[in-house]
Amino acid sequence: MPLWISLTIGAAFLQNLRTSLQKRLTSELSAIAATYVRFSFGLPVAALYVAVLFYGTGAAMPVADSEFLIYCLIGGLAQILGTVLTVALFAYRNFAIGSAYVKTETVQTALFGFIVLGDHLSLGAIIAIIISLTGVMLISTNRSALTLRLFFTSLLERPALMGIGAGAFFGISAVSYRAASLSFDRADYLMPAAFTLLSVMIFQTVAMTAWIAWREPGQLLATARNWRVSFLVGLTGALASMGWFTAMTIENAAYVRALGQIELLFAFASSIFLFKEKATRLEIAGAALVVAGIVLLLFTR
């Protein structure tokens, strides 16, 4: 099995865990503060990872240039905005509409990858992404009692626009991170990906600390009071990012994000085997489409 596939599956699993933990914080923290802990508490983990690679493997430290820094700034800011929009959706009663539209990230990543890096997708890969995206939509709409008709007729409502915006920002960040890592033009991939991750998280932590200190100073103390859950969010988020960044350095970001939709299958399996919930025919059909799309992607990319 190619390394990028293993890394993506592991990252998707950890991201699903991180999202579950982050939802617990929304009752105690604002949307921005709940986003902030993902970066601030994850920064030490990213720094430790770079140190282990540098001292443990002897990998040379990359030298950042203006191109690298620009891509890091764009990707880091886009990820912050995408995460804030996603977390903010939890406050809406019909947040499921927006959450479903966030899943368009895979299609938007493919578009941005083509525009920025000239990454091309095979016809089979395009079909695979559409198939898996359809499956994701079926599962998302069924689990929230959201009909497909309501899904499409709600396109201009605020949650839908927020979801599309979040998907766009996540697509921009994925492509920017791949571009930043590739800007070093090195044969190895672990250190470029790790250094990119660390650089991005430093920017995100500094920027969000300054913003929260200015706009929501009380939230800094609130994150400290909830340090146990915040630490777990930061840890799982950083570990997931290690997988995402490395996989996107190795392979086309659109392929990585498309395979990353397996995250929804993890949540689906948990509801059945852990919480003993019954799956509907629509959910089973959706899961089958996600699997079919992923298998087709792996064979036609």
pLDDT in tens, 63-104: 999 999 999 999 999 998 998 888 777 666 555 566 667 878
End-to-end CA separation in angstroms for the chain = 14
- Cβ proximity of 8 and 106 under 8 Å: no
Give the chain's mean pLDDT: 86
pLDDT in the model for residue 22:
80
Mean pLDDT to the nearest integer, 271-286:
70
277-292 in b/e form (b: 16+ CB < 10 A) is: eebeeebebbbebbee
pTM (2 d.p.): 0.87
Average pLDDT over residues 119-146: 79
Comparing C-alpha atoms, which of 35, 12, 33, 46 is closest to residue 169?
35
Segment 19-77, tens digit of pLDDT:
778 878 877 888 789 889 999 999 999 999 999 999 999 999 999 999 999 999 999 99
> How far, in Å, are 2, 67, 242 from residue 182 at the CA level?
19, 10, 15
> What's the rounded mean pLDDT across residues 153-174?
82
